[in-house]
């Protein structure tokens, strides 16, 4: 079974994003970029499926600028077998990404597509579900456990009240939540080896996908700031404050 | 304009997340509710009474019992012939279903809106709430998820919607296997008036419960946790408050031993009053706290619990 793993190059999760002065977006110039953390979990899960014998080949895909190559090389260094970069300098919305991935899935015929549940830049949480809709496949979103048996996959999902397990017919879509696994670090020999793994370059036009955005960003601002309040000296003062708030008798 | 709203329900009752979603939807047009499930007659009746509701569409069939998106989304798409927008709360169900509907309609979804600025214009958080974007949709139909804490709850009484039955089928792609839903006597996090949350400073699962639970019980509060505490195994994941967990906005949020990482603040900074207890006086949590107390939580919290 082939596994397709889409990955996105985003601002590193340790960097505090700064809103541009002109209100057009977030300043990404000279900012450290990395693989979206949920996508790292997706790559790791694919590798574990291969280690268990459930997967045979892992293909990493990214839709983004030339520099997204680095993100794909990271996936290759972790253990993906080959990569496809769909090159574009435009911002591509989840719907258009899903359309490109659908075209790639039609060509590659994977048994599973594993994606991060959301990217930490636009926080949309849409691409996996949209891809499932376009392919007409089942979807196991926000996964904390994935088990492939025969022609089905059981996905345990993080839901509001706890956990839920669904069984999906293969091929299917899985989106990852944080507790699914802890991604490995790529070793130096594997980073070197990744440099010679195949990386195919494509464009959205190759897949006949129009990427014009449907949502226009009118402005981006910083959220309203909370100002620091007061410090109390001890428990008695805190009890008095709680009583004043009406939360304690 | 008519708006179809996904009703989040559990054990025969309409959940609060639905009520704030109704408020957001009413700013767009006439509100029609969709109740999907098996044996949901009483939910539909309760839904019809929500203030401002014109119509309740009911999908009552075993295929919809667990809100599997493979079955629900095509049924919603069929209803969208008569609606201009589909609006769902940004709950795990809403986030699971809405994008599937959007893609089938060839619409770009607007996730997690904080406000309705116009018929096609909304604000939404990006970068874990470190920035707020105003976006305008060019799609003729809208698919939207709503952040519950950003809208007032519609009243549960006062409406008299017409109840109408709809049909759909099992797509045969997925099946429900089981669930482990945490049972708790405490209020649910997303609707609790008071929340007591613990962080990594609690240092073990035993101490987390020994310190946090009695205070929460005393205050009638829900219990939350930071991602660090969840990752360390001190608290289960459904306690998690933050960008990657639940977004909460209670009247009072008590952060115990939580340093205040960006990702945690993203989940609770809209709380009305934030109280922080932490031994590090430079912890970022104090920059957003209304009331701070610097000191050893293992001394302070039991003393506080005793004095309340």
In a domain? residue B240: yes
Count of domains observed in chain B: 2
Same domain for B105 and B152? yes
- Domain A2-244 classification at class level: alpha beta
Same domain for B293 and B211? yes
Would you give per-residue pLDDT tens digits along chain B (308 residues)?
A: 999 999 999 989 999 999 999 999 999 999 999 999 999 999 999 999 999 999 999 999 999 999 999 999 999 999 999 999 999 999 999 999 999 999 999 999 999 999 999 999 999 999 988 899 999 999 999 999 999 989 999 999 999 999 999 999 999 999 999 999 877 788 888 888 999 999 999 999 999 999 999 999 999 999 999 999 998 999 988 899 998 788 898 999 999 999 999 889 989 988 999 999 999 999 999 999 999 999 999 999 999 999 98
- Measured distance CA(B277)–CA(B263) in Å, rounded: 18
Q: For chain B, give the mean pLDDT.
A: 95
Under 8 Å between Cβ of B104 and B73: yes
Query: Chain B partners of A215 at a C-beta cutoff of 8 Å?
Result: 108, 110, 135-138
- B207's tokens: 């101490």
Cβ of A215 and B136 within 8 Å? yes
Under 8 Å between Cβ of A57 and A45: no
Residue A52 CA, chain-centre distance (Å), reads: 23
Query: Chain B partners of A139 at a C-beta cutoff of 8 Å?
Result: 69-70, 96, 100, 174
CB atoms within 10 A of CB A108: 16
In a domain? residue B181: no
Helix (H, G, I), strand (E, B) or coil at B162: strand
In a domain? residue B176: no
Q: List the strands of the sheet with B162-166, edge to edge.
A: B110-113, B142-146, B85-89, B2-6, B30-37, B53-60, B162-166
State how far the alpha carbon of A5 is from the alpha carbons of A38, A91, A101, B26, in Å.
Answer: 11, 20, 10, 39
Helix (H, G, I), strand (E, B) or coil at A164: strand
Query: Strand pairing partners for B194?
Result: B252
Query: Strand pairing partners for B162?
Result: B55
Mutate to test the interface with A, among B8, B95, B186 (most CBs of A within 10 A): B95
Helix (H, G, I), strand (E, B) or coil at B141: coil
> What CATH number should be reported for the domain holding residue B78?
3.40.50.620
Same domain for B117 and B196? no
In a domain? residue B208: yes
Query: Chain A partners of B281 at a C-beta cutoff of 8 Å?
Result: 231
State how far the alpha carbon of A39 is from the alpha carbons of A140, A173, B58, B83, in Å.
Answer: 15, 14, 37, 35
A46-99 pLDDT, tens digit each? 999 999 999 999 999 999 999 999 999 999 999 999 999 999 999 999 999 999
CB atoms within 10 A of CB B213: 16
Same domain for B233 and B273? yes
pLDDT of residue A249: 65
- Measured distance CA(B284)–CA(A50) in Å, rounded: 42
Confidence of residue A118 (pLDDT cuts 50, 70, 90): very high
Cβ of B66 and A154 within 8 Å? no
Same domain for B32 and B141? yes
Q: Stretch A173-196: mean pLDDT, rounded?
A: 95
- A65's tokens: 């600028």
The radius of gyration of chain B's CA atoms, rounded to the nearest angstrom, is 21
DSSP symbol at A150 = T
- Measured distance CA(B102)–CA(A93) in Å, rounded: 13
In a domain? residue B173: no
Give me the helices (H) in B145-296, please.
205-219, 227-231, 262-268
Helix (H, G, I), strand (E, B) or coil at B225: strand
Cβ of B290 and A229 within 8 Å? yes
In a domain? residue B174: no
Cβ of B291 and A17 within 8 Å? no
Mutate to test the interface with A, among B6, B118, B170, B179 (most CBs of A within 10 A): B179
- Measured distance CA(A69)–CA(A91) in Å, rounded: 16
- Measured distance CA(A234)–CA(B308) in Å, rounded: 14
Same domain for B12 and B89? yes
Residue B106's domain comprises 2-166
- Measured distance CA(B290)–CA(B274) in Å, rounded: 5
Same domain for B132 and B25? yes
pLDDT of residue B151: 95
Name the residue in chain A with its Cα closest to that of B120. A215
Residue with the bigger pLDDT between B78 and A247: it is B78
pLDDT of residue B191: 81
pLDDT of residue A224: 84
- Measured distance CA(A61)–CA(A68) in Å, rounded: 10
Q: For chain A, give the mean pLDDT.
A: 96
- Measured distance CA(A20)–CA(A42) in Å, rounded: 31
């Amino acid at each position: 079974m082939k596994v397709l793993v889409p990955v996105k190059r985003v601002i590193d999760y340790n960097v505090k994003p700064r809103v541009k002065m002109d209100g057009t977006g977030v300043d990404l110039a000279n900012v450290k970029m990395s693989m979206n953390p949920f996508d790292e979990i997706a790559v790791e899960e694919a590798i574990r499926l291969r280690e268990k014998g459930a997967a045979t080949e892992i293909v990493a895909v990214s839709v983004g600028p030339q520099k997204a190559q680095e993100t794909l090389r990271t996936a290759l260094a972790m253990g993906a077998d080959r990569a496809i970069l769909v090159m574009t300098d435009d911002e591509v919305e989840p719907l258009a990404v899903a359309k490109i991935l659908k075209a790639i899935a039609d060509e590659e015929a994977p048994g599973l597509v594993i994606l991060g549940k959301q990217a930490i830049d636009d926080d949309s949480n849409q691409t996996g579900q949209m891809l499932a809709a376009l392919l007409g496949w089942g979807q196991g979103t926000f996964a904390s456990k994935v088990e492939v048996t025969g022609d089905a996959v059981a996905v345990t999902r993080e839901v509001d009240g706890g956990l839920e397990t669904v069984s999906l017919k293969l091929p299917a879509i899985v989106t990852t939540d944080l507790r699914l696994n802890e991604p490995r670090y790529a070793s130096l020999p594997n980073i070197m080896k990744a440099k010679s793994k195949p990386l195919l370059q494509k464009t959205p036009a190759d897949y006949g996908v129009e990427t014009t955005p449907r949502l226009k960003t009118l402005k981006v601002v910083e959220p309203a700031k909370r100002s620091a309040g007061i410090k109390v000296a001890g428990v008695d003062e805190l009890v008095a404050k709680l009583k004043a708030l009406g939360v304690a008798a | 304009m008519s708006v179809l709203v996904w009703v989040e329900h559990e054990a025969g009752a309409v959940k609060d997340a639905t009520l704030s979603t109704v408020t957001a939807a009413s700013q767009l047009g006439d509100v029609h509710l969709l109740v999907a499930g098996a044996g949901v007659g009483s939910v539909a009746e309760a839904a019809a009474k929500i203030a401002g509701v014109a119509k309740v569409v009911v999908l009552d069939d075993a295929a919809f019992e667990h809100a599997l998106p493979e079955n629900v989304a095509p049924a919603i798409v069929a209803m969208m012939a008569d609606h201009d927008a589909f609006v769902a709360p940004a709950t795990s169900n809403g986030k699971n279903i809405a994008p599937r509907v959007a893609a089938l309609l060839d619409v770009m979804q607007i996730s997690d809106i904080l406000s309705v600025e116009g018929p096609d214009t909304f604000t939404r958080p990006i970068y874990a709430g470190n920035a707020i974007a105003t976006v305008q949709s060019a799609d003729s139909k809208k698919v939207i998820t709503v952040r519950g804490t950003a809208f007032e709850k519609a009243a549960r009484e006062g409406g008299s919607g017409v109840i109408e039955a709809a049909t759909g089928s099992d797509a045969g792609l997925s099946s429900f296997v089981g669930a482990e839903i945490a049972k708790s006597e405490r209020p649910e996090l997303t609707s609790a008036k008071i929340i007591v949350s613990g962080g990594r400073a609690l240092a073990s699962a035993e101490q987390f419960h020994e310190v946090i639970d009695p205070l929460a019980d005393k205050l009638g509060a829900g219990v939350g946790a930071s991602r660090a505490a969840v990752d360390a195994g001190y608290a289960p994941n459904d306690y998690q408050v933050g960008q990657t967990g639940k977004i909460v906005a209670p009247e009072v949020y008590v952060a115990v031993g939580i340093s205040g990482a960006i990702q945690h603040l993203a989940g609770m900074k809209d709380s009305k009053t934030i109280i922080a207890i932490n031994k590090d006086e430079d912890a970022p949590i104090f920059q957003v706290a209304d009331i701070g107390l610097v000191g050893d939580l293992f001394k302070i919290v039991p003393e506080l619990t005793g004095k309340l």
